[in-house]
Amino acid sequence: MAHEMNGRKFLLQGNEAMAEGAIAAGCRFFAGYPITPASEISERMSYRLPQVDGTFIQMEDEIASLGAVIGASLAGVKSMTATSGPGFSLMQENLGYACMTEVPCVVVNVMRGGPSTGLPTSPSQGDVLQARWGTHGDHPVIVLAVSSVSECFSITVTAFNLSEKYRVPVVMLSDEVVAHSRETYTIPSADSIEVVDRIIPNVPPEWYKPYEDNSRGVPPMAAMGDGYRHHITGLVHDAYGFPTEKQDEIETFLKRQFRKITNGFFEIQITKKINIEDAEIAVIAYGSVARSARRAVAMARAHGIKAGLVQLVTLFPFPKNSVVNVMRQCRAVLVPEMNMGQISREVKRVNTGLTEVSKYNRIDGQLITPLEIFEELQKL
Amino acid sequence: MFSGMTELRHKYLRHHKKFPHVWCPGCGNGIVLGAFIRAIERLELEKDEIVFAAGIGCSGRMPTYVDFNTLHTTHGRALTFATGIKLAKPSLHVIAVMGDGDAVAIGGNHFIHAARRNLDLTAIIINNQIYGMTGGQASPTTPYGAHSTTSAFSNIEHAFSIAELAVAAGASFVARGTVYHAAQLDKLIEKGISKNGFSVVEVMSNCHVQFGRRNKMSDPVTMLNWLKEHAVSKDNGSSLPPDSLDDKFTIGILADVDKPDYIEEYKKIRQKAKRD
């Protein structure tokens, strides 16, 4: 097998496209633990990473997987892990550590039915709010959702770029349908893929303060072993990285975590709008449901209904502006989800009497079909 | 030449930044840190090439005080972070320090798998037989019959022997020392760090505040004497009558085997993958 993938066409599964997207983004370390329906990401990484001088390791559990991923990132290597619901629950502790220490990494959760062991081979969107709030403590986080094989590649690149740029863990939510669907996909040429690397310090080591504020709120990050010896801890820390209990330092540090994400809303909050220009009603959807919604909107248009779609690629920070703009324009919006209404809560939260918000929910382990969404649109 | 301890303190401690330390007067952790620094000095390693990682607990604060690349991770997970660091940058010497609760209770799974995997890391496990920082709760190495804040009447569980566990799990190098035998300890740590493969140095230590007070050894000297009286050298142990060894533990090198470490093996995987 040729190791050069760029510019070539493949029949790829969503999970495989995620692995390729990660490698294209510069990921050279992956640690994981087997779990359905995410295992193909590990399998592909175990095969592909050694070809590009990267490292794959199968750890003893998901806790260890994210620990190793954070460690590799601290040593300067872009890193990723992938899991599903039960494993994602185990990762919450170290996810908070990555937030607290501002270590870039990408965590994929291929959602399956839950809670607990749930429905290992069925799709779900039940982990949306867990991705936002799963680890303890007040923290900002970036959560992205993918709806196709093509996005499994491209949004994985985006996930790495945002993670590197803002020094935050990025959670990518896929689901069993996207993960296991196969589509033909041409991997873009290397020079057409924008890859962002973390900023490294340009001061002498004795001047380096690893957690010093700046205008962006994102301090440069030195890799271990590059001469910038410093301390890293999950305790609240001062600009040097040492634990602190001083009130002014605590608040300054924690507020910077929020500020750096708020500053980046313009590029972090990604949505895709389809047929929105003249839409009177709209679907707000993400993940595989957005794929069905795309078809449902086309069906509605064929029946003379002026329907549109807002696909949320970024779920958190919640893309309030895009959603509010559509709600101002449309007399009704529909939020179909494979859960009992996790994003519809967010939509309702930002709806200050602008429009009517309906939801459509399935939690029977089946995907939501275009026909179902079309029928719901006819009722609006 | 081996420098005096004062010089070493000035060379390796972050003495302007992070002192006083959090440990109680008489704590064994300082003796372990001293032995670690002496080992590093003798190995002539550069500060920049050393990563010193810890989990949570009294031992977890140790990296704060020394001028290396230092990491205070989550409870029990130091070895998982160490694994990622070492694989990402194999030129680094990665040493993890853990406590008994940290390494073999909450981190027990990571510990045995790190030993099995044989990645070139060094684990220093300070075994004071108690959860010290949280206030003296029973740990997996609290002796049967001992008292703690969660076994006020008597501990009815049986203790792990950490070093023997490491041997069984496949570690390349396993040693046990004590904070009483401080001169031996730095040599064991030195050998552990130089060993190519996963190495474990268990250090029997004293927590007179949380363990000793509840078990009739409320001062450090009594506890150090207890360590002295209960430690049997690996080389002498077999000549003593078996009955006399019942409540004793062995000190010295318990295992030293040569097998390819993970990074050497992974280099071969990369070559195979590129040929495929």
CB–CB contact A68 B87 (8 Å):
yes
pLDDT value at position B237?
Answer: 67
Residues in chain A: 380
Interface check B81 vs A, CB under 8 A: yes
HSE-CB of A311 using CA atoms within 13 angstroms: 23
Q: How confident is the model at residue B1 (pLDDT cuts 50, 70, 90)?
A: very low
Among partner residues A232, A235, A242, which is closest to B17 by beta-carbon distance? Answer: A242
Distance between CA atoms of B38 and B29, rounded to whole angstroms? Answer: 14
Q: Which residue has the higher pLDDT, B276 or A294?
A: A294
The pLDDT tens digits of the residues spanning B201-231 come to: 999 999 999 999 999 999 999 999 999 999 9
CB–CB contact A71 B85 (8 Å):
yes
In B, which residues are within 8 Å of A137 by CB distance? none
CB–CB contact A3 B274 (8 Å):
yes
Residue ranges of domains in chain B: 4-275
CB–CB contact B73 A234 (8 Å):
yes
Q: What is the mean pLDDT of residues A150-157?
A: 98
Single out the residue of B53, B128, B148, B149 nearest to residue B93, CA to CA.
B53
Sign for the CA dihedral angle at A315, A319, A324, A329 comes to negative
Instruction: Please report, as a single letter, which amino acid is at residue B37.
Output: I
> From the CA of B55, how many Å to the nearest CA of chain A?
10
Among partner residues A59, A61, A75, which is closest to B85 by beta-carbon distance? Answer: A75
Q: What is the mean pLDDT of residues A9-19?
A: 97
In B, which residues are within 8 Å of A233 by CB distance? 64, 71-72
CA distances in angstroms from A350 to A29, A322, B43, listed in the order given: 39, 11, 61
Interface check B21 vs A, CB under 8 A: no
Residue A323 backbone dihedrals phi, psi, to 5 degrees = -70, -45
Residue A108 confidence (pLDDT) above 80: yes
H helix or E strand, kind and range, residue A159: helix A149-166
| DSSP-assigned letter for residue B60 | G
Buried (b) or exposed (e) across B87-96, using 16+ Cβ within 10 A?
bbbbebbbbb
Nearest CA in chain B to A58: B117
Residue B210 neighbours by CB under 8 Å, 6+ apart? B128, B130, B131, B132, B135, B136, B148, B149
Residue ranges of domains in chain A: 2-192, 205-266, 272-379
Among partner residues B74, B84, B266, which is closest to A31 by beta-carbon distance? Answer: B84
Nearest CA in chain B to A70: B81
In B, which residues are within 8 Å of A51 by CB distance? 270, 273-274, 276
**CATH class for the domain made up of A272-379:** alpha beta
DSSP A102-146: T--EEEEEEEEE-STT-EEEEE--TTHHHHHH-SSSS---EEEE-
Distance between CA atoms of B255 and B237, rounded to whole angstroms? Answer: 15
Distance between CA atoms of A172 and A313, rounded to whole angstroms? Answer: 10
Distance between CA atoms of A335 and A360, rounded to whole angstroms? Answer: 6
CB–CB contact B82 A74 (8 Å):
no
How far out from the chain centre does Cα B266 lie? Answer: 27
DSSP B19-50: -S-SSPTT-THHHHHHHHHHHHHHHT--GGGE
> From the CA of B117, how many Å to the nearest CA of chain A?
10
pLDDT value at position B18?
Answer: 77
CB–CB contact A50 B67 (8 Å):
no
CA distances in angstroms from B97 to A66, A317, B67, B168, listed in the order given: 19, 37, 15, 20
Residue A1 confidence (pLDDT) above 50: no
Specify whether the CB–CB gap between A134 and A88 falls below 8 A. Answer: yes
CB–CB contact A74 B17 (8 Å):
no
In A, which residues are within 8 Å of B81 by CB distance? 67-68, 70-71, 74
Single out the residue of B8, B12, B24, B22 nearest to residue B210, CA to CA.
B24
In A, which residues are within 8 Å of B87 by CB distance? 29, 55, 57, 68, 72
Assigned CATH for A2-192? 3.40.50.970
Distance between CA atoms of B94 and B82, rounded to whole angstroms? Answer: 6
The pLDDT tens digits of the residues spanning A19-53 come to: 999 999 999 999 999 999 999 999 999 999 999 99
In A, which residues are within 8 Å of B49 by CB distance? 225
Distance between CA atoms of B5 and B167, rounded to whole angstroms? Answer: 32
Check for a shared fold between A2-192 and A272-379.
yes
ipTM of the complex in this document: 0.97
Q: What is the 3-state secondary structure (H, E, C) of B178-237?
A: ECCCHHHHHHHHHHHHHCCCCEEEEEECCCCCCCHHHHCCCCHHHHHHHHHHHEEEHHHH
| DSSP-assigned letter for residue A306 | -
In B, which residues are within 8 Å of A27 by CB distance? none
Single out the residue of B198, B187, B159, B174 nearest to residue B250, CA to CA.
B174
Arch. (CATH architecture) of B4-275: 3-Layer(aba) Sandwich (3.40)
> From the CA of B13, how many Å to the nearest CA of chain A?
13
CA distance between the termini of chain A? 52
Interface check B88 vs A, CB under 8 A: yes
CA distances in angstroms from A228 to A68, A151, A223, B50, listed in the order given: 21, 37, 8, 12
Q: Which residue has the higher pLDDT, B244 or A90?
A: A90
Distance between CA atoms of B17 and B25, rounded to whole angstroms? Answer: 20
Give the tokens for residue B253: 């090198």
Among partner residues B77, B91, B272, which is closest to A67 by beta-carbon distance? Answer: B77
* CB neighbour class for A136 (10 Å; exposed up to 12, middle 13-18, buried from 19): exposed
pLDDT value at position B17?
Answer: 74
| DSSP-assigned letter for residue B131 | B
In A, which residues are within 8 Å of B91 by CB distance? 225
Residue B2 confidence (pLDDT) above 90: no
Chain A and chain B share a number of CB contacts under 8 A equal to: 140
Q: What is the mean pLDDT of residues A302-313?
A: 98
- The B residues from 93 to 132 touching A (CB cutoff 8 Å) are 109-110, 113
Q: What is the mean pLDDT of residues B13-28?
A: 90
Nearest CA in chain B to A236: B72
Single out the residue of A213, A201, A362, A379 nearest to residue A296, CA to CA.
A379
Chosen for mutation from A74, A226, A236, A238 (greatest number of chain B CBs closer than 10 Å) is A74
> From the CA of A373, how many Å to the nearest CA of chain B?
45
Instruction: Please report, as a single letter, which amino acid is at residue B32.
Output: V
> From the CA of B273, how many Å to the nearest CA of chain A?
5
Residue B3 confidence (pLDDT) above 70: no
Q: What is the mean pLDDT of residues A196-217?
A: 97
> From the CA of B41, how many Å to the nearest CA of chain A?
17
CB–CB contact A72 B69 (8 Å):
no
Interface check B67 vs A, CB under 8 A: yes
